[in-house]
Copies of this chain bind each other. A is one copy, B any other.
Amino acid sequence: IAKEVAKLLEMKAQLGTDEGKHKFVLKTPKGTRDFGPKEMAIRERAFKAIISCFKRHGAEVIDTPVFELKETLTGKYGEDSKLIYDLKDQGGELLSLRYDLTVPFARYLAMNKITNIKRYHIAKVYRRDNPAMTRGRYREFYQCDFDIAGQFDPMIPDAECLKIVHEILSDLQLGDFVIKVNDRRILDGMFAVCGVPDSKFRTICSSVDKLDKVPWEEVRSEMVGEKGLSPEAADRIGEYVQLHGGLDLIEQLLQDPKLSQNKVAKEGLGDMKLLFEYLTLFGITGKISFDLSLARGLDYYTGVIFEAVLLQQENEHVEEPLSVGSVAGGGRYDGLVGMFDAKGRKVPCVGVSIGIERIFSILEQRLEASEEKVRTTETQVLVASAQKKLLEERLKLISELWDAGIKAEMLYKKNPKLLNQLQYCEETGIPLVAIVGEQELKDGVVKLRIVATREEVSVRRESLVEEIRIRTSQC
């Protein structure tokens, strides 16, 4: 229904533009949105948690341009390439907006011949997706990526990526979650032993990828009907993809008469076992599920893949159930950097991308449900006056406060009413008011009012900065 309504609204909007000849449509482009001060305050909370975590793990930060040469993005995204935004050919290079941060990262490594880096990158990416289809999906959205590039001993960086996802989701208190883990090599081996022809690996993989949204029966009929897989092969796949568990399942599959004979599957399972050992040392296996149905669409993954999913909360206090879905994902891509190197020199990489938009929606919904009032500024004090003709005195005082590093505001009126000034503090959450009056000026003091308690104290002008600092030190 939401989809239909969106369609109708769009048709209506288009009709609207045709009606009046020069009627200007005041809107942001389809699939994008502005963030107002309140939304930004929430967004910055989430960013802060994520950046703290990335820094805690010793990551450096980089930034790349919002667009890349079109050819840089070509051949990296499989079927999704049709969603790339191209820039108009205005003479010069052909450019496209970045689709993710991973391909620009690989281009950056190859271009600068960097073989070893741990970096994060938080920036907007662009996809010409149909944004009405899913809640919390936009055409412009932030990704928060953390990646480790370099030739290292197996599964140590991979385990750290999962630890990071665990830390961030725990820190943000988004509710219960599970991190599904699989390996492209296990998937490929599984397809091979089930009798999928090599040429069908990718397309069957993308069918498997749908298992988190549609039931097996549908996926099976797509495999057999649309993609021409034999029913026997599909049924064999069906048995595997229902499996999920922990170390026990890995051990079981290492004994599996068919899988254990397949070289890549065996490699993948061996590494998966090592990964689980490291995750046990990190104490996070409780939230990790080795899940044979996890496929992930992007072409460039070569080893471990993972995806964090929020679990539905049984929470009667929220009218609308929280949207549930993937909030982080990633994996190993050992071949991508080599695609940019003239000599094909590889730089093994593993990384994670935090899907911040869904996290925002959840934090927003939760905040709306709560009674918490979000402050959108950090102002410590309002410089106010009790009488008329004190604009100059207010300007002098606020200038002193700014120069001392105090966050201060005043109303931009010559003669504001005291009541209006106090009201402004109530509305915006400013905790203190520094009131100048004629008597105070004579006495060399400022009246400091604590908004919450309505208490007023007389403070000597030379002690005002210190007094404000002490009274707002918890802010």
Contact = CB atoms under 8 A, between A and B. Distances in A.
A92 B399 contact: no
Interface centre among A57, A110, A140, A392, by most chain B C-beta atoms within 10 angstroms, is: A57
Given A24-B340, A87-B86, A95-B29, A412 B62 contact: no
A43 to B, nearest CB: 8
A65 B399 contact: no
Nearest to A33: B65
Interface string A327-367: 00000000000001010000000000000000000000000
Interface string A184-226: 0000000000000000000000000000000000000000000
Contacts of A157: 412
Interface string A289-307: 0000000000000000000
A406 B56 contact: yes
Given A56-B407, A407-B56, A32 B62 contact: no
Interface string A67-80: 11101000000000
B395 A282 contact: yes
Contacts of A163: 399, 402
Q: Count copies of this chain in the complex.
A: 2
A108 interface: yes
Contacts of A63: 34-35, 40, 43
A408 B56 CA distance: 6
A40 B56 contact: no
Interface string A377-412: 111000000000001100110010011011111001
Contacts of A405: 56
Interface string A105-146: 001101110000101000010101000000000001000000
A399 B284 CA distance: 10
A126 B88 CA distance: 14
A278 interface: yes
Contact of A30 (B27, B71, B92, B152): B92
Contacts of A40: 60-63
Interface string A175-190: 0000000000000000
Contact of A409 (B32, B58, B62, B124): B58
A56 B407 CA distance: 4
Nearest to A69: B29
A412 B30 CA distance: 44
Contacts of A35: 62-64
Contacts of A71: 24-25
A413 interface: yes
Contacts of A159: 395
Contacts of A153: 391, 412-414
A62 B85 contact: no
A25 B107 CA distance: 11
A256 to B, nearest CB: 28
A90 interface: yes
Contacts of A58: 377, 379, 407-409
A412 B88 contact: no
A179 B283 CA distance: 58
Interface string A28-44: 11101111110010011
Contact of A412 (B36, B89, B126, B156): B156
B26 A111 contact: yes
A24 to B, nearest CB: 6
Nearest to A405: B56
B107 A399 contact: no
A391 B154 CA distance: 12
Interface string A404-439: 011111001110000000000000000000000000
Contact of A87 (B65, B85, B413): B85
Contacts of A92: 30, 128
A325 interface: no
A376 to B, nearest CB: 5
A30 B128 CA distance: 24
A281 interface: yes
A167 B402 contact: yes
A248 interface: no
B37 A119 contact: yes
A27 B70 CA distance: 11
Given A35-B64, A36-B112, 11 more contacts: A27-B69, A28-B68, A29-B95, A34-B108, A35-B62, A56-B402, A58-B377, A60-B376, A90-B128, A156-B395, A281-B396
